[in-house]
Every structure is written in C-alpha cells, then in structure tokens.
Amino acid sequence: MAEPILSLRGVARDFDAFRAVDNVSLDIKTGSITGLIGPNGAGKTTLFNLLTGMLPPDAGQVALNGADVTRVAPDKLFALGMGRTFQIPRPFARMSVLENVMLAPMAQIGEHLLGPFFRSAPMRAQETAIRERALGVLDFVTLAGLADQAAAQLSGGQKKLLELARVLMGDPDLILLDEPAAGVNPSLTKVLIEKIEALNARGKTFLIIEHDMDFVMQHCDPIIAMAEGRVVFEGTAQEAQNNPILLDAYLGAQTDV
Ligand code: ADP
Ligand code: MG
C-alpha cells in the first residue's frame, strides 16, 4: 500500500482545561477525497489548525509524506505542498479578485505588502509570471470574468472559489477545505465539486470538513467522524449511513451550524 500523504499520531490540544483535540491518530490516504464530519465543537477546525502549523499541538506527531512536520510553520507547509482554506473566507476586501489570488504565494512566504515586493525589476518579472498563473487559476475556478472586481463584491460561494484559487497558486498535493459548501448556493457547490474531482483526477488529495451530508456521502471516501475531540468513526459512506453511533453523534447536531 502507498504511504499515506498525512499521518497523525496521538495529536492533542487543550484550551485551558478543555481538551479540544484528544489523542487523534489518522492516516490520510494519498489520492483520496477524505471527508471529516462531526457536530459543531467536535474539534475539526482545531485539528486543521494543528495540521497546518497554525496552532502547536500539546502532544503527538504529524507527518507529511513520511517526514515529520509537527510544529512546522504554515508558510513552510504551503511550500511543502499542503494548502488549506478557511471556514470563513477572509479575502482582502478592497483588493481585486486577481490581486487576492496573486498575493497568495507572497502571503505564504511572509510578504504582506504589495509595494516592497514589486519594487525591483526581478520582482516585476516575477509579478508577470504570478499574474499569468493567477489568471489561469481564476479561469479554472470560473472566476476569470470577475478578476477586476473588488473581492468584497463576491457572493459567499464565489469567495469560497476564491479561497480555492488562492490555495491552487501553491500547487499543493494535499488540500484541506474547511466547510467549502457552507452558505454556498447549489449551482456554485456543483462547480466546486467538479473542480475538486478534476483536481483529484490529477492526483491531488483532499481532506474536507463538511456538514452537507449529500456532499460527503456522494463525494468523500473514506469518511472520518469526530465528536468531543476524538475520532469516533472511519469508513465508507455506506458504513457511515448504517452506523448508529455516528447517527447519534452527528445527526443530532446537524442543524446546529
Ligand atoms: P469544529 O470545527 O468541529 O466545530 P472547533 O475545532 O472549532 O470545532 O472547536 C472545538 C472546541 O474548541 C470548541 O469547544 C471551541 O469553542 C474550542 N476552541 C476552538 N478554538 C479555540 C481557541 N482558540 N481558544 C479556546 N477555545 C477554542
Ligand atoms: Mg469548524
């Protein structure tokens, strides 16, 4: 069997006396679209923060392609091929859609201001390359027609596609999406799913937190469920649908979004 793209061993994180993530061990299969479900407060987003270097774990190890990346910073992980989107997209509202996408690699390498980065001639040459790449990525996520609009003008669903575009600037092997379909209308969700499946067909692995059970059941395999900081289930969609513990742990809180 191929090595898992991501391995967690005994990962834990407390917030004061509250254990948000409790001894999580998981292998994410290379090439999969893995779904991560669980009621609000289960620790899913915290787990993403631990995986992506945004929060240090109190215990445990994270390995990417077999190499230990525990406590590695987000920009380094982005460079190593791990990209993530946020549950609540936070684009630079007054910048254009194109500028937001162009900024993704720079934000990830620690450059936060457009000005200094573009000042020198080599940087201007790089800007042209980044612009071309950004336009290609925007075309892929069906936002090319909105490239010059302010990001603030995008709908909730379009902002999620913009987040995906920003992640794709890094050409990641592993893409973590935090509730990509939440608040997104069905036609844009369909576009999002098509893009996820197209990227997956090109070999990209996805780990997706999602409450939309149709989305998860139809497009994710395997499915992992968390409750109260722990993994309570791992299996196929069919196994998930027939699992009484999972129904209790998850469906009871499904409307609490
Ligand atoms: P989920 O994404 O599954 O809804 P979260 O990971 O966001 O859950 O939250 C898990 C628990 O950890 C919640 O009880 C939440 O209030 C708590 N929590 C998350 N982040 C913090 C933080 N930075 N400080 C304190 N408590 C937090
Ligand atoms: Mg969350």
pLDDT digits (tens, 9 = 90+) for 148-205: 999 999 999 999 999 999 999 988 999 999 999 998 899 999 999 999 999 999 999 9
Q: Which residues on neighbouring strands pair with residue 142, listed in sequence order?
A: none
Span 76-105, pLDDT tens digits: 898 899 998 887 877 888 899 999 999 876
Asked if pLDDT for residue 46 goes beyond 70, the answer is yes
Q: What is the pLDDT of residue 253?
A: 47
State how beta strands 223-227 and 33-37 pair: parallel
The separation between CA 190 and the C-alpha centre of its own chain, rounded to angstroms, equals: 17
Q: Mind listing the domains of the chain with CATH numbers?
A: 6-90+172-249 (3.40.50.300), 92-153 (no CATH)
pLDDT the model gives residue 88: 80
Which residue has a Cα nearest atom 20 of ligand 1? 46
Cα–Cα distance for residue pair 197/201, rounded to 1 Å: 6
Q: What is the C-alpha to C-alpha distance for residues 9 and 20, in angstroms, rounded to an integer?
A: 16
Cis peptide before 4 (omega within 30 of 0): no
Residues in contact with ligand 1 by the CB-under-6-Å rule are 15, 20, 38, 40-46
Which DSSP letter does residue 58 get? S
Question: Which protein residues have a CB closer than 5 Å to ligand 2 (ion)?
Answer: 45, 87
Q: Has residue 30 got a pLDDT over 90? A: yes
